[in-house]
Structure 1
Amino acid sequence: MKKTNAMRILDGLKILYETAEYDDDGEHVLEKGAACRMAEKLDVNPETVFKTIVMRTEAKEICVFCQSAVNEINLKKARQAAGVKEIAPVKPEDLLGLTGYVRGGCTPIGMKKKFRTFIDKSVMECEKVCISGGQRGIQIKIKPEDLVKATDAVLCDLIL
């Protein structure tokens, strides 16, 4: 497997991680149940699969949120965590230009710029979590404390 930018960053930080590959549908349709299907392919608990959500504030600041993929993000809690009045997900077509990653391959590690990052506190209940490896079909398994360290993230409550 070719190393992604996220993997090179983790290597540089001397953070241990594992990688896992899975068959991607190519279009990355994000309907309910996608996390459960991926978890099944990887033989992991679906609650340990963490998705990356990139949002834009009313001041055009980009913020990154990471939470268990089995839950929906609570926008009110996301606004509170970021200390902003308005926040909304960026459009999928804007994701690559902002982050360097495509939808379905977006990871909170190693984006084009360093954005404020918020991870749901439930991450600390997991022994390891799976996050995107920086491209579709690749996941990184990492200890929660190492994910927080690699992203310089704030832990907070993000789920409904």
Structure 2
Amino acid sequence: MAKREKIQKTNAMRELDTAGVSYRCRELQEEDLSRGLGMRMAEEAGEDPDSTFKTLVTVSPSGDHVVCCIPVGEELDFKKAAAAAGEKSLSMLPTKELEATTGYVRGGCSPVGMKKRFPTLIDETAQLFDEIGISGGRRGLSLRLSPDDLVSFTGATLADITR
């Protein structure tokens, strides 16, 4: 019998392990990890794309950061997200600042295991599923877990934040 290749732990996985939060992980074994990764991962796993969430990091005019998790096929509504976060407005954090701010690269950003805990908003549709997918902290790595566990662990707020 061939041994199953062990997936290298990420900060997100280590933090969830330490907190006793159960999750399943899946790694996309493909060289092309370009745009549309979240949608492709959901489709290849036979999962509902609406239950697979991408992580977007936004910034307010005062420089505060807000993490937003929305379904991979949706677009963030900045006005709704700003209102839910109690901010005047929000805009995307420039990609060049992402790794220094979060510890993650574009396409591998997880709401769990960032360098610092930021206020987090998760689209309210997460409640419709027993399990949702989020980035595992590396491009091509997905974690599936209970939305209640994710909300509890991150201290997130559920809100309508998509267009």
Q: What TM-score do the two structures reach when normalised by structure 2?
A: 0.91
Task: Quote the Cα distance in structure 1 between the aligned partners of 2:140 and 2:97.
Answer: 21
Equivalent pairs, count: 157
Task: Quote the Cα distance in structure 2 between the aligned partners of 1:77 and 1:24.
Answer: 35
Instruction: Give the equivalent residue in structure 1 for 2:24.
Output: 18
Task: Quote the Cα distance in structure 2 between the aligned partners of 1:24 and 1:106.
Answer: 18
**1:128 corresponds to 2:131:** yes
Greater Rg over alpha carbons, structure: 2
Q: Report the alpha carbon displacement of residue 41 of structure 1 after superposing the two structures with TM.
A: 1.6
Equivalent pair of 2:33/2:140 in contact (CA under 8 Å): no
Tell me the percent identity: 39
Equivalent pair of 1:74/1:159 in contact (CA under 8 Å): yes
Q: 1:97 aligns with which of 96, 100, 119?
A: 100
RMSD in angstroms over aligned alpha carbons?
Answer: 1.3
Structure 2: runs of 5 or more not aligned: 1-6
Q: Report the alpha carbon displacement of residue 29 of structure 1 after superposing the two structures with TM.
A: 2.5
Task: Quote the Cα distance in structure 1 between the aligned partners of 2:62 and 2:136.
Answer: 29
Q: Report the alpha carbon displacement of residue 149 of structure 1 after superposing the two structures with TM.
A: 1.3
Instruction: Give the equivalent residue in structure 2 for 1:60.
Output: 63
SS of 1:64's partner is strand
Q: Report the alpha carbon displacement of residue 25 of structure 1 after superposing the two structures with TM.
A: 4.8
Task: Tell me which moved more, 87-96 or 21-30.
Answer: 21-30
Q: Given residue 77 of structure 1, which amino acid in structure 2 is its aligned partner?
A: K
Q: What TM-score do the two structures reach when normalised by structure 1?
A: 0.93
Equivalent pair of 1:28/1:103 in contact (CA under 8 Å): no
Instruction: Give the equivalent residue in structure 2 for 1:6.
Output: 12
Task: Quote the Cα distance in structure 2 between the aligned partners of 1:4 and 1:38.
Answer: 18
SS of 2:161's partner is coil
Q: Tell me which stretches of 4 or more aligned residues in structure 1 moved more than 3 Å.
A: 23-27
